Amino acid sequence: MSKEHLLIIGPPGSGKGTQAVRVASELGIVHLSTGDILREAVKNGTELGAKAKDYMEKGALVPDELMLGLIGDELDRLGDSGWILDGFPRTMPQAEALDGMLDERRERIDRVILVDLDFEVIVKRITSRRVCPVCGAVYNLETLKPKVDGKCDKCGADLVIRPDDREETVRHRLDVYKEQTEPVIDFYRKKGNLVAVNGEGKIEEITAEIIRALK
């Protein structure tokens, strides 16, 4: 079982969340998703969870300081287990604050995995998604087509495009990533602990490439 502390970064639609779960399983480490940490803290009614809930109910972003506190609590719970953090940091202030927090704990990020993918491939991948509003089944016009155009295989309902999957929304999210997260990638590249893999291809092949790159 690995004791490594990893980060995984990549543009929206790169498949980094899927890879984080798979890499955690391969290495025997814990997958830390900031979304899950947030939901769990709110559900359990912890002090920080209650504060986070106030922001979420107003539709506001949870402040970095609060998010770091939640991550710190989770790391306390894990003890000396290895982990892969998914969903944080997304901005330079977050990256610097995370480094500061880990320094105080006498810990560090061992490696940062960048799952990279051409933006046009991402736009095509995400805008090709279709979902069933009735049973929640997800299809992709490129890779997982329904048997009958526009109809759900499971329940026959008309498939829809989620607002988040529309081209203008996807391009806006990619612009935000370029502006806010690409400097974070340079930050880790300069530290010499960045490992970049191509996010195009079969899921299991990308996982194998990540594991090879970490060795």
User: DSSP assignment of 51-100, as one string?
Assistant: HHHHHHHTTPPPPHHHHHHHHHHHHHHHTT--EEEES---SHHHHHHHHH
Task: Kindly report, residue by residue over 63-118, the tens digit of the pLDDT.
Answer: 999 999 999 999 999 989 999 999 999 999 999 999 999 999 999 999 999 999 99
Residue 60 pLDDT: 86
Whether the model clears a pTM of 0.85, i.e. scores above it, the answer is yes
108 catalytic residue (yes or no): no
Question: What residue ranges do the domains of the chain occupy?
Answer: 5-29+81-214
Catalytic residue among 90, 111, 124, 151: 90
Kindly state the greatest CA–CA separation across the chain.
Answer: 57
Residue 31 pLDDT: 97
| CA 74/CA 206 separation, integer angstroms | 28
Per the listing, tokens 């814990």 go with: 30
Q: Is the dihedral of CA 165, 169, 171, 175 positive or negative?
A: negative
Per the listing, tokens 């770091």 go with: 68
Residue 195 pLDDT: 97
Residue 1 pLDDT: 59
The ranges of the chain with pLDDT < 70 are 1
- Give the C-alpha distances (Å, rounded to integers) separating 50 from 38, 53, 65, 205, 213: 10, 5, 14, 41, 40
162 catalytic residue (yes or no): yes
189 catalytic residue (yes or no): no
Question: In the CATH hierarchy, which top-level class contains the domain 5-29+81-214?
Answer: alpha beta
Catalytic residue among 105, 162, 189, 212: 162
173 catalytic residue (yes or no): yes
